[in-house]
Amino acid sequence: MYRINEGVFDLPDGWRDRTVNVMASDNSPTQMALTITRDDRAWGVSFPEYLEDQMKRVEKALEGFELLGRREFHVSGLPAHEMEGRWMRNKTPVHMLSTIIDMGDRALIVTASTDGQMSPSQKAEMQRIVESFRAKEKTHCRAGIQDDVHMSRINS
């Protein structure tokens, strides 16, 4: 079973979640966006190796990218790495905080961004949102790995 806010799909075995979720604040000039993506780690690649590869990709992909800081921490008991930077999009400066959460063989990437400069309170709120993430516990059943909410419905 695959759950979205609006409902549930019964997908075939072997399908992977490749969704991109985008949430945004109001339409003010200082609009904040929060983007969530998922990525598979190549077999045998450690989390630190994956992080360094992602850093190189960001530096190549984002025009004028400047790294402002990095920090390691844990989210929901999982290793996480935050990268803060700025870059230019269509001659407009963009400030971003990108957090990669180690989900085992996958990475959950949560990126907060805004045009211009994030204020200290905006940055603190984006970090609070990321740190509020709680990973679902997984359980095995006949149909494969299901989350606990769906298990109660399947087994009842």
Report H helices in the chain: 47-61, 120-131, 148-154
Split at pLDDT 50, 70, 90, the class of 141 is very low
Higher pLDDT, 10 or 141: 10
Beta carbons within 10 angstroms of residue 85's beta carbon: 20
From residue 142, give the alpha-carbon distance in Å to each of 13, 16, 33, 148, 155.
Answer: 12, 18, 39, 14, 10
In this structure, which topology does domain 20-154 adopt according to CATH? Protein Transport Mog1p; Chain A (3.40.1000)
Q: Does the structure show a pLDDT above 60 at 20?
A: yes
Residue 54 has phi, psi (to 5 degrees) of -65, -40
Q: Model pTM?
A: 0.80
Q: Which two tokens stand for residue 111?
A: 């990126």
HSE-CB for 33 with a 13 A CA cutoff: 14
